[in-house]
């Protein structure tokens, strides 16, 4: 048997093994399971949301303590659950440099998600991707990540709004945000 045929045989055996492992853990249906879980979580929490089955995303608008609305999208894409929050639906082109600097500060500190700035359409969003495999085995983590995404989005919204309204430098805005978070953590831990 030639080396090429041996490799082909080993590869086919590996694929069969992988397929049987996927079937035994139900991984071949994980996107359907996660999609249903995500919809059920929105229903049970009483959120006002829209489900777009053909595009495979859920849209929810949450209002924070300051009565500001944030539009969230949750979609399944390439074996990931993608969380997206529209932080600034639009911004003044003259503030682009400050927007980019503040985004760079966020991205250097964030462990959950990434701030993206779309310069073509002038908007800012917070995006996080998580593997469906982890949610398949730990479905309770979806709600934890929903809360976490909401909290980080609120921090981002506060920072961008504060920078735009006050005209302060992004470095000062970020340091003020970090002080606010530290103060909140001190009061919760006390």
Distance between CA atoms of residues 77 and 135, nearest Å: 14
Reported as a single tens digit per residue, the pLDDT across 116-165 is: 999 999 999 999 999 888 887 787 899 999 999 999 999 999 999 999 99
Rg over alpha carbons for the chain, rounded to the nearest Å, is 21
Reported as a single tens digit per residue, the pLDDT across 165-183 is: 999 999 999 999 999 989 8
Collapsing DSSP to helix, strand or coil, 112 comes out as coil
Q: Are 156 and 75 in contact (CB under 8 A)?
A: no
Measured between alpha carbons, how far apart are the two ends of the chain, in Å?
Answer: 71
Predicted TM-score (pTM) of the model is 0.80
69-77 and 123-131 beta bridge pairing: unpaired
69-77 and 57-63 beta bridge pairing: antiparallel
57-63 and 123-131 beta bridge pairing: unpaired
CB atoms within 10 A of CB 109: 10
């Amino acid at each position: 048997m030639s080396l090429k045929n041996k490799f082909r045989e080993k590869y086919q055996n590996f694929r069969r093994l992988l397929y049987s492992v996927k079937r035994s853990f139900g991984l071949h249906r994980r996107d359907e399971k996660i999609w249903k879980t995500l919809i059920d979580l929105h229903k049970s929490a009483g959120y006002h949301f829209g489900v777009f089955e053909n595009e495979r995303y859920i849209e929810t608008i949450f209002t924070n303590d300051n009565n500001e609305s944030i539009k969230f999208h949750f979609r399944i894409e390439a074996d990931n659950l993608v969380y997206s929050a529209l932080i600034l639906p639009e911004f003044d082109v003259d503030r682009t440099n400050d927007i980019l600097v503040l985004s760079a500060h966020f991205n250097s500190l964030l462990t959950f998600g990434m701030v993206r700035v779309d310069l073509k359409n002038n908007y800012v969003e917070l995006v996080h991707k998580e593997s469906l495999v982890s949610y398949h085995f730990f479905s309770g983590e979806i709600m934890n990540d929903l809360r976490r995404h909401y909290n980080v989005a609120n921090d981002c919204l506060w920072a961008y709004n504060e920078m735009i309204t006050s005209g302060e430098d992004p470095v000062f805005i970020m340091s003020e945000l970090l002080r606010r978070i530290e103060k909140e953590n001190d009061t919760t831990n006390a």
